Each structure stands twice: as structure tokens, then as C-alpha cells.
Amino acid sequence: ILDAVHDAGLKVSCIGSPVNKIPYDVMSEAREFDRLKRACYAAQRLNTKRIRIFTPEVPEGQHDEYATRIIAWMSEQKRLAIDQGVTLLHENDAKYWGAYPENSKRLLGELGDDRFKAAFDFANSVLLGYKPYDEWFPWILPHLDTLHIKDARDGQVVPAGEGDGQIEQTLRWLIEQGWNGNLTLEPHLKAAGPLGGFSGPQLFETAVTALRR
């Protein structure tokens, strides 16, 4: 894989791991820790220092009750990241605990630094009923490493700028703030689900064109 990347004149930006993309279960913490160890190994092999992760899902209506346990869980993983010299990027995906702005704000407020940062996905916020610019900015800015460019409207993923993700407004504001982080295309235009999505070459080109526009 690394040879193919180099031959194309590219570099690996981040390991897109599925770590913590599970329902909360105290018995699963060690397993997810081991999965993060494997992600750290992959990062070393692919010469990148960044690993995308999530927070576990908790029962609906019990987010506050689980907050201390979730943060303790993530603290152990951050310690591993420090030991391995990598940075964890928490993504606000689906209905996992950190997908909700108040939860993510608490998580990043306690753990956020150069080894624990945010990868923000516009569509994931919209699909939960939140307005990205209104409810995530400006508080997330000090923690923001990466923007996932994916838009949504009426429960469906759509090309950037065609949904309710306030992407253009947010990008203009970030430019004004001097932000120069990463943009990643994760369009999910053909299929989208809790464990991933698919676009294919033609729809990926559609996503690139929409972002450039």
C-alpha cells in the first residue's frame, strides 16, 4: 500500500480506524484498547501521526450518567497515543456519545490538546438535528484538526453545499480565522450506514466538484 501511495505522489494523512464504534460495555474497553494499538502500528507503517477514533454509544437519555466513564475510557487511549507519539482525532459520528455537541465539548474540554483533537463531520451533525455552524463553532476551533466534507438534507447525504450543513458559511468563517487544517472528502453518495459508506469513482468526482465550487 505504501509503495502505491508513494508512486502516486501522495501521503497518508490519517488512519481511519473504527476504534470505539461500538455500544458502551465495560468488558469491551480492553478490546478497543488493543484495536487502537493495532491502529498505532498501522500509523507507524504508513508514516502518519494521526488516527481517527470515536466514542462508544450509550443508552439514549443517559448521556450525563455515562460521561465520567466515557472520559475515563478515552483518557486511557490518549495515554497510549502519547506513548506512541500519535494524535487521536475524535469524530462526531452517528449516535455515539461524542456526536452530540455538548458531549463533545465536554470531552475536548477535558482531554483536548496536541494529542487529542477533533475531526468534525458536517453531515453527521445535520443527521442528528444540529446546525453545524450554529452549534459547534466557535468553541470547537481550538481543537479542530480536520473537516469531513459531507453534507446532508432530509435524512440523506448530498454533495457539499446542497444540504443543511452550513459548509460554505463555516469555511468562509474559518478562512477569516486563519484556520489551515485538513479537509477530507467522505461523501457517502451511493450508500451510507452506521459502519461506513460508498460513493464510487463517478460520485466521488461529483463530491470533489461540489467542494471546489
Question: How far is 12 from 5, CA to CA, in rounded Å?
Answer: 7
Question: Which stretches in the chain have pLDDT values below 70?
Answer: 191-199
Q: Supply the pLDDT for residue 28.
A: 97
Q: Supply the pLDDT for residue 197.
A: 66
pTM of the model: 0.93
Q: Supply the pLDDT for residue 198.
A: 63
Q: Supply the pLDDT for residue 110.
A: 98
Contacts of 212 (CB under 8 A, 6+ apart): none
- Strands annotated E in 87-200: 87-91, 116-121, 144-149, 151-153, 156-158, 182-185, 191-193, 196-198
pLDDT tens digits, one per residue of 113-124? 999 999 999 999
For residue 101, give the nearest of 77, 78, 126 by alpha carbon: 126
Q: Supply the pLDDT for residue 127.
A: 95
